[in-house]
Chains A and B, each alone.
Chain A
Amino acid sequence: MKKVLTLGLAAVMAVTLLAGCGGNDKEAGASGGGSPSASTGQPSDAGGKKRLAIIFKNTGNPYGEKQMEGFKKAVEENGDEAILKAPDQPTAEAQIQMIEELISQKVDAIAIAANDPDALQPALQKAMNAGIKVISLDSAVNAQSRITHVNQADPERIGRTLIQGVSEMIGGEGEIAILSATSQATNQNTWIEWMKKELEDPKYANIKLVKVAYGDDLRDKSVSETEALLKSYPNLKAIIAPTTVGIAAAGKVLTDKGLKDKVKLTGLGLPSEMAEYIESGVCPWMYLWNPIDVGYLAGYTAEALVKGEITGAVGEKFTAGTLGEKEIVADGDGTQVMLGDPFKFDSGNIAEWKEVY
């Protein structure tokens, strides 16, 4: 009996210590809602600090970290508290659990970059029924699951700009291929749709899209798929990779095989990951947007909703801090707020941006 008690006590102490350490860990800005006392604070009332939460797709992703950073900045500029959450696996199931946890904490708003556009619907509707303002950013949820969506750039512009860019790179004719992420990713599929639409224009009559390959956002799979593309289509002139992992993987493969001038590369990539390949010329230019700004805009959108300044209907306007005035526009059967145009990274500006993110 004594043995059991002593060991039991040891177990209790150890677990408490562990969790205590974990709770008190103040990782540099990444996540965690501050010290336990702040998180266990009273449910927010009308006069007190509001609590707005952001859920990203997965942890350890520098792009996501920057978005959460921007969100936090916006929320704190308004004098409120930001809660940052991200699951360790990019699954919808994990995000549903996080939404439940936030509902239990009675937060005022949730901004989510979704791992699945439809699977979060019942959970987010439960949140909205509980009075929480729900918006999505970056990777959208369907219109029934949110009040509005914060979009980094118009998907049509992204798709069309990429094709226009690639056409310029290869002189208007040749075979091109697309290296995407997972076959399930909605934003990827939307951009590819717009790329195909742009290709229907007669001025691209000499450009042929030979394949859409899926690298699943996995480094090794993206490498295999790129190598396969190069083998199967020896006349390939360009690869478009609208995914940060894919474009970096393709850049490495093209560099290793010395195909710099034969096959061009463009797409959407992180400046830090692509700096090497832009500087070497493997990738003449590519696009992205500032994730900090996306998060920042989402923060202000959430704040505006919580304060009651907007309701998410088309045509409403609000001020988003340093980004100025933003207007809500239509998006399918929902609404969205747009950050702006995709930003072009080339050898001229990559040096300054590669340190930022």
Chain B
Amino acid sequence: MKQKMFADAALAVGTGQGAATKTTISAKFAKFRELGLLAVIVLICIGVQLRNPSFLTLENINDIAANTAILSILSVGMMLVIITRGIDLSIGATLALSGMIAAMTVKAHPGLHPLAALLLGFAVGLACGMVIGFLVAKVGILPIIATLGMMNVFRGLTYEASGGKWVSAHQMPDSFKQIATGSLLGINNLIVIAVVIYAVAYYFVSHTRTGRQVYAVGSNPESAEISGIKTKRILWLVYTIMGGLTGLAGVLWVSKFASAQGDTASGYELSVIAACVLGGVSIAGGSGKISGIILGAVLLGILNNALPMINVSPFWQNWIQGMIILAAVVFNALVKRGIDRNNLMRRKI
């Protein structure tokens, strides 16, 4: 990532005449970084389609999209967290907690408008995120510890809140279940929500000052602080956003599956982190693109959908998934190496 910034800076400083052509080449190269991932996705799609022709049908694609929607919403929040050199292991627990509280509320008040349920889940998640943000930003605890600890606390609270019971489909009003199964203009609600969130996120990240400040904080926290950016507030904001998105995802989850359990989404955080890292978000902080995490989430979603469909023995599923992920990241790394080498070999600056 540092090399890219170097190259960009050099280009920016470069002479006026060639500047126009050079920026377009650089822009093309940037897209190429995700090319590796895109290639893997296309390859897998072709491979699966050959084994099972019902893979690339509209219905199946709809299913994949709906199942991936929640994962991709969470990836947006996680990307922001990882950019600031942080990590959030508690999202599974936050998701369960907000989902459970939302479900229990609609069970007790069936007349509640679904939007209110969404807001409630969002609020619960927001609160959880604020706590973590406080611990990381104000108290200064390392994110991995803060989120590891709060993961336990939130999960425990979920069990306590539910009193050991589940909320089942017949206890949820239809309006609530419609949140996930309903559709707007023919497209599943979940996909619509995900697209809206992505649009907002893209705008936030590329076109707002706060969004750029997030990258700055992740890139070099000390310089960011010195240059006047309120790092503490940015950190707190990032975890709060993550919490809010997770809370929203929690409501969507229990609506989609029409069931709220205490152990919902246990271990889900690893899938989200995988999606982000696959999408090119660097754990060292400071870089990550929306387009990347879309691809990462899509790849994981496709894997989850495709593996059962090609009739591979369930005992091979894990290994295949792991190998594909490893292959995808290694391939991406090699592609990046090639690009960087190209960049360095260009003598004209």
Contacts and interface: CB of A to CB of B under 8 A. Distances in A.
> Touching in the complex, A and B, CB below 8 A?
yes
Contact of B163 (A30, A252, A275): A30
A234 B54 contact: yes
A65 B164 CA distance: 7
Nearest to A216: B314
Interface stretch (B165-173, B287-295, B324-332): B165-173
Interface string A205-222: 000000101100001110
A88 B308 contact: no
B259 A273 contact: yes
Interface string A199-241: 0000000000001011000011101110111011010000000
Interface in B25-84: 52, 54-55, 57, 59-60, 63, 67
Interface string A60-93: 1110010000000000000000000000110000
Interface in A174-220: 183, 211, 213-214, 219-220
A270 interface: yes
Contact of A252 (B63, B258, B311): B258
B181 A272 contact: no
A61 B261 CA distance: 8
Contact of A272 (B55, B166, B309): B166
Given A234-B54, A273-B166, A224 B304 contact: yes
Contacts of A231: 52, 54-55, 57, 59-60, 309
A303 to B, nearest CB: 24
Interface-central residue, B166, B171, B259, by most chain A CB under 10 Å: B166
A214 B159 contact: no
Contact of A214 (B156, B162, B181, B314): B314
Given A60-B261, A220-B257, A273-B259, A213 B314 contact: yes
Given A227-B305, A228-B309, A232-B52, A252 B262 contact: no
B307 to A, nearest CB: 8
Consensus secondary structure, chain B interface: helix
Nearest to B159: A60
A273 B258 CA distance: 9
B264 interface: yes
A279 B67 contact: no
A252 to B, nearest CB: 5
Contacts of B181: 256
A285 interface: no
Interface string B311-337: 100110000000000000000000000
A315 B181 CA distance: 55
A228 B305 contact: yes
B54 A252 contact: no
Contacts of A249: 257
Contacts of B225: none
A267 to B, nearest CB: 16
Given A224-B67, A231-B309, A252 B155 contact: no
B257 A62 contact: no
A223 B165 CA distance: 21
A121 interface: no
B311 A232 contact: yes
A276 B160 contact: no
B258 A272 contact: no
B263 interface: yes
Nearest to A226: B308
A352 interface: no
A58 B264 CA distance: 13
Interface of B: 52, 54-55, 57, 59-60, 63, 67, 155-156, 158-160, 162-166, 168-171, 181, 257-259, 261-264, 266, 304-305, 308-309, 311, 314-315
Given A224-B308, A273-B259, 4 more contacts: A62-B165, A213-B308, A252-B257, A270-B168
16 contacts: A59-B159, A59-B262, A62-B166, A88-B156, A88-B159, A88-B263, A214-B314, A219-B259, A219-B264, A221-B304, A223-B67, A224-B67, A224-B304, A231-B57, A248-B169, A272-B170
Interface of A: 27-28, 30, 58-62, 65, 88-89, 183, 211, 213-214, 219-221, 223-225, 227-229, 231-232, 234, 248-249, 251-252, 256, 270, 272-273, 275-277, 279, 354
5 A-B pairs with least C-beta separation? A60-B262, A228-B308, A276-B169, A275-B170, A276-B170
